[in-house]
A and B are shown apart, each in its own frame.
Chain A
């Protein structure tokens, strides 16, 4: 019994010491931050509601940010705040060189301890992986880290909003607006160029996002579909989301152009489709119009989506987008 008491007290003592250490650390950091912040605008504190309905108040400009999904990272870098990112996911690959040197926090199943050890002021999580990440995020919230769950954008409008939200959270609202208006301008330019394409001249496009043996495609309500709408091309797929399709259905649909997005992990994705047996009658195969685009440009809800639209436009209407 006596032994147990001693153990208990020593534990308490240890906890006390640890807590004390932490407190001193924090105050020191806060001081540093305050001095650094004096010349910045007084946009803080800011309160925002995230995708899961949590109201988050950020007292001061977050100096240490952990981004849990590549699209968030890209947005923060576009805002010019890349050096504030102290942790990214394993999947992050853009901007290539910068991201390589940032600590990795794991994939969808991230390492909670790692994130805590990075001492972030703000964690930018994402709505899409929530069913897996929820518990981990709660652990982060429990230790007092601000977690903002970014909405899973499904359209260009939502991406604009996401960029503006992240901008305001990080004290870069002006830059965010600049990015958004640039994106809108480029889209408008593209729309102008394709405005004269007649209904009957629209290219019919099939987009393959995963190849043999089970073909998946991008249907209605995806970015890729919205992009086709912008450049006035027809998606041959009518279903919502990311449906599976059979070879036969594609052969019957007879698309003019086939776009693949999985070339980064399947070598010669386009060539493989060109050589598929039984597809000889498909117009895209006969005219050798099968192209692989970088999937990050067409599915990742970030500032580079516009580049994705441009790339698709060049492949689908080469005569209009020559340069």
Chain B
């Protein structure tokens, strides 16, 4: 009897959880599109959306200029922020579960340094590949991010065939600082491109347009699907590798596929928006605290919540001292660090009882 009622109440809790994060996401989306230099009422936005989706007539109050701004400037920006936030939060949740380390985030293993190095390299030398044009930067960045995680994996296998978590983390940290120093070197040598590079490193989703979304989407879909299907395995792995093995999980293969999926998400996110910190660290922790540690729910909840969070962070970044835009990474860190401190304090107090 008691068991059933617990199950039922947890089902209700789950519904509430999903309802809550989805509402949060939709609201952020609407607010994000509505607020900007030019105020566009929500009614006009819905009008534009229905015009774009169902070919309905535009009402007289909606000028064509507004339509262009909503569809070509704000919507792609807000969506990209959402996608990046979702990817980082999801990858963060996966990394924390996999590495059993509360400090793990999408950047722990050096993927961001690798992707950044690729991007800074492109900016520094002003490279533009003939076919890809301005998409050179994100493409190279994804590539270098991926190469980084591959070399981290290969190196840690070389050090220790069983690929213990500590080895992977240490290798990642070595890789990060090595690549970071190369980035610093390029910054020190740069002239004209300095502001471009700094802006990029601080993270931004400004003026990316639909092209970036279409570039990002395939990686997002593949990475997300690969991770969302691993909820059970992550639950098992969070008891430790040995226990997971006894529970029937093929630890090495699962570890590898989770690592790769989360890296794809992180690499692509860094490639289109630069390094945006704290989302991948704080959002999963926050969700774990509110909804519990079951990865089957934690992953999708973090995903949706992260999307809404980054949309709002971007909104703050571009409106707070408009027309000057702040780097979005600064905002996420300013909001994220106190939240993280708060979570830490609460956890420690609870543990003490």
Q: Residues of A with Cβ closer than 8 Å to B?
A: 90, 107, 210, 212-215, 243-249, 251-252, 254, 265, 267, 277-281
Contact = CB atoms under 8 A, between A and B. Distances in A.
Interface in B310-335: 318, 322-325
A212 B207 contact: yes
Contact of B191 (A107, A214, A247, A252): A107
Given A278-B68, A279-B68, A213 B38 contact: no
Contact of B199 (A214, A247, A280): A214
A70 to B, nearest CB: 14
B65 interface: yes
B73 A278 contact: yes
A48 to B, nearest CB: 32
B73 A277 contact: yes
Contact of B65 (A214, A245, A246, A252): A252
Contacts of B191: 90, 107
A244 B73 contact: no
B323 A249 contact: yes
B180 interface: no
Contacts of B71: 278
A90 B65 CA distance: 44
A251 B68 contact: yes
Contacts, number: 68
B192 interface: yes
A246 B209 contact: no
B199 A246 contact: no
A158 B208 CA distance: 41
B210 A214 contact: no
Contacts of B225: none
B22 interface: no
The 3 closest A-B pairs by CB, nearest first: A278-B72, A277-B72, A278-B68
B73 A247 contact: yes
Contacts of A249: 37-38, 323
B68 A213 contact: no
18 contacts: A90-B191, A213-B204, A214-B206, A243-B324, A246-B36, A246-B322, A246-B325, A248-B36, A248-B38, A248-B69, A249-B38, A251-B65, A254-B65, A278-B71, A279-B68, A280-B68, A281-B65, A281-B68
Interface of B: 36-38, 64-65, 68-69, 71-74, 76, 126, 128, 191-192, 195, 199, 204, 206-210, 318, 322-325
Contacts of A246: 36-37, 318, 322-323, 325
A107 B194 CA distance: 13
B204 A248 contact: no
B207 A213 contact: yes
Contacts of A90: 191
A254 B191 CA distance: 33
Contacts of A248: 36-38, 69, 73-74
Contact of B323 (A107, A243, A251, A279): A243
A278 B37 contact: no
Given A214-B199, A246-B322, A252 B208 contact: no
B176 to A, nearest CB: 25
Contacts of B209: 277
Nearest to A249: B37
B73 A281 contact: no
Given A213-B206, A277-B68, A281-B68, 5 more contacts: A212-B206, A213-B199, A214-B204, A277-B76, A278-B73
Nearest to A108: B191
B280 to A, nearest CB: 22
A90 B68 CA distance: 43
A213 B200 CA distance: 9
A244 B324 contact: yes
Contacts of A278: 68-69, 71-73
Interface centre among B71, B73, B210 (most CB of A within 10 A): B73
A280 B206 CA distance: 19
Nearest to B199: A214
Contacts of B324: 243-244
A252 B72 CA distance: 14
A251 B208 CA distance: 17
A122 to B, nearest CB: 26
A261 B61 CA distance: 36
B271 to A, nearest CB: 14
Nearest to A245: B323
Contacts of B192: 265
A220 to B, nearest CB: 15
Contact of B208 (A213, A265, A279, A280): A213
